[in-house]
Chains A and B, each alone.
Chain A
Amino acid sequence: MNDRIVLTYHVSPEDFTRAGEASSDVKNKLKQMGVSPSAVRKVAIAMYEGEINMVIHANGGDITVEITPEKIVMILKDVGPGIADVEKAMQEGYSTAPDHVRSLGFGAGMGLPNMKNYTDDIQIDTKLGVGTTVTMTINL
């Protein structure tokens, strides 16, 4: 197991104040690793968006981050409602976030699009009523 660093985080539901803790921790580790600032920025944005998504839509979930010297893979797994139309959800500005979430300044419909824009690869495995697993890869 020495060829990779595996980090796990639990994202608690409906807790916006704690969202961002996981991305912050990963960010600091990448800085200690000497990863380029632009890669750190991409990871920070993609992961924070993912965390927020899990809080808003999926009652939280679990994040596994695998770091190797070549790449960072973030696996965000939830047992939420699933995404009905992935293609639509990837469109900028499309959002199904409820009003109370929007009133907090979230839910602008930029979550998944940003995650796509800031990563080298994104895979979305989703099933209605079962949950969603988003796997994002950023090459280092």
Chain B
Amino acid sequence: MEAYTHSVYLDNDLCTGCTNCLKQCPTGAIRVRDGKAHINGKFCIDCGKCIKVCTHHAKLSTFDSLNIINDYEYTVALPAPALFGQFNNLEDVNIVLTALILMGFDAVYEVGSAAELVSEQTRSYVKAHPEQWPLISTACPTVVRLIRVLFPNLIEHLLPIKAPIELAAEIARRKAVEKTGLPPEKIGIIFISPCPSKVSYVRNPLGVDQSAVDGVVAIRDVYKQILPYMKQAENDPMELSDTGKIGIGWSISGGESGGLLSDSYLAADGITNVQKVLEDLEDQKFETLEFIELNACTGGCVGGVLNVENPYVAKTKIKRLRKYMTVAGNHLEDVPVENLFWTHEVEYEPVFRLGTNMLESFAMLNTVERLTAKFPGLDCGACGSPSCKALAEDIVRGDAEETDCIYIMKQQLNQMYHDMEANIKSKKS
């Protein structure tokens, strides 16, 4: 497996070693060892769930500071459509876009605009490839990572079209080069992100060799600074937006599917629901569907952990905002796009395999079964592993011991006590 830099990390001082994140991690990537949570980078899919559930705010996400604007001669902001769901009484997307310019960006390009192109391309791809039905959306990098490590049989169903963020970055850079005449590397393409998953995507892209995005800033950081500029922009906003209903709708669950103009789809959101759908898909439960839209966050991208607004409130705001918009403002025939398709295939990474080969893995699995039967089945997490079964796997991998289970330890202590007592009695008599 290639080196993979994650964007979720731990603040050791704040972590109390409790079991909140441990129990809720969807891939069982977290262990508590020596009183602190550790993330196993091999298993982590950057869903951000641990950030959401940590009551001590010890789980954090890396992203760039807004100062990144100063690192380039010319910067283009790529706002995710979720950004527009953060504000009260926003009636015109142009106010936000104009405020971004007032904040210091030289230009803006809406990710929603690229999303409309992706929707158009997806429509024709889905129609042309019934052998791949149901096609699974690949816009959420966490979903693609989950499939890559756990659902090898579903890889062939992945929609091989670049995510809107990637296409937006390519188009924005080309436009900037045309306008300024600057060499491409002097131009900074900065994505305004709702989630840490996109931060990881830029470092370790899926479907392309290298991402065209230069930096990722958090929606919540932009939110803090943009409000006064929005006041200023309100009076005379520039006409910068060309996104329609479809583009802005990508921020909420069902939005991407809506762009397909077909009813033959299923849209699931929230990482647990996504996993269930993938399990069912693997058992071939919905062969008749054409498209499956999956978002790791509840509600879709508006549920990302770097947002400010409650996802459901944001969803309502997005729906209100798009009510009077045109269906789509962007069409493939108008935008010269070099290549909308993936240039790199996504390959199965069997990170959950126990051993290095099947015989070894089989023997290890056998031991796991035996150990699991020995444990109390409480899944209490006190040992530092998320479940009794996970502890058994950790022991087999050499990362834990049986006595890490407090139940087993108590048994052993009781035994010792009885042995000692018997010993003393026999000496007395």
Contact = CB atoms under 8 A, between A and B. Distances in A.
Contacts of A140: 358
B357 interface: yes
Given A20-B279, A27-B282, A34 B153 contact: no
Contacts, number: 65
Contact of A20 (B283, B365, B368): B283
Nearest to B350: A34
A140 B361 CA distance: 14
Interface in B114-143: none
A33 B153 contact: no
Contacts of B361: 32-34
Interface residues of B, number: 26
B365 A33 contact: yes
A33 B152 contact: no
A31 B353 contact: yes
Contact of B362 (A7, A48, A69): A69
Interface in B279-301: 279-280, 282-285
A41 B152 CA distance: 9
Interface in A40-91: 40-41, 44-45, 48, 67-69
Contact of B152 (A7, A40, A45, A69): A40
Contacts of B252: none
Contacts of A20: 279-280, 283
A29 to B, nearest CB: 6
Nearest to A30: B365
A133 interface: no
A31 B350 contact: yes
Contact of B359 (A23, A27, A37, A69): A69
Prevailing SS type, chain A contact patch: helix
Nearest to B288: A105
Interface string B354-395: 110111011101101100000000000000000000000100
Interface string B227-256: 000000000000000000000000000000
B366 A45 contact: no
A34 B282 contact: no
A2 interface: yes
B87 interface: no
Contacts of B324: none
A117 to B, nearest CB: 12
A5 B358 contact: no
A2 B282 CA distance: 30
A19 to B, nearest CB: 10
Contacts of A2: 363, 366
B282 A41 contact: yes
A48 B283 contact: yes
Nearest to B363: A2
A35 interface: yes
Nearest to B360: A34
B365 A29 contact: yes
Contacts of A35: 358
A97 to B, nearest CB: 16
A34 B357 contact: yes
Contacts of B365: 5, 29, 32-33, 67
16 contacts: A2-B366, A20-B279, A23-B283, A31-B150, A31-B152, A31-B352, A31-B353, A32-B353, A32-B361, A32-B365, A32-B368, A33-B353, A34-B354, A34-B361, A40-B153, A68-B362
Q: Which 5 pairs across A and B sit closest by C-beta, in order of nearness? A: A37-B152, A34-B353, A48-B283, A41-B153, A33-B361
Interface of A: 2, 5, 7, 20, 23-24, 27, 29, 31-35, 37-38, 40-41, 44-45, 48, 67-69, 140
Given A32-B353, A37-B153, 11 more contacts: A27-B279, A31-B350, A32-B354, A34-B350, A34-B353, A34-B357, A40-B152, A44-B284, A45-B284, A67-B362, A140-B358
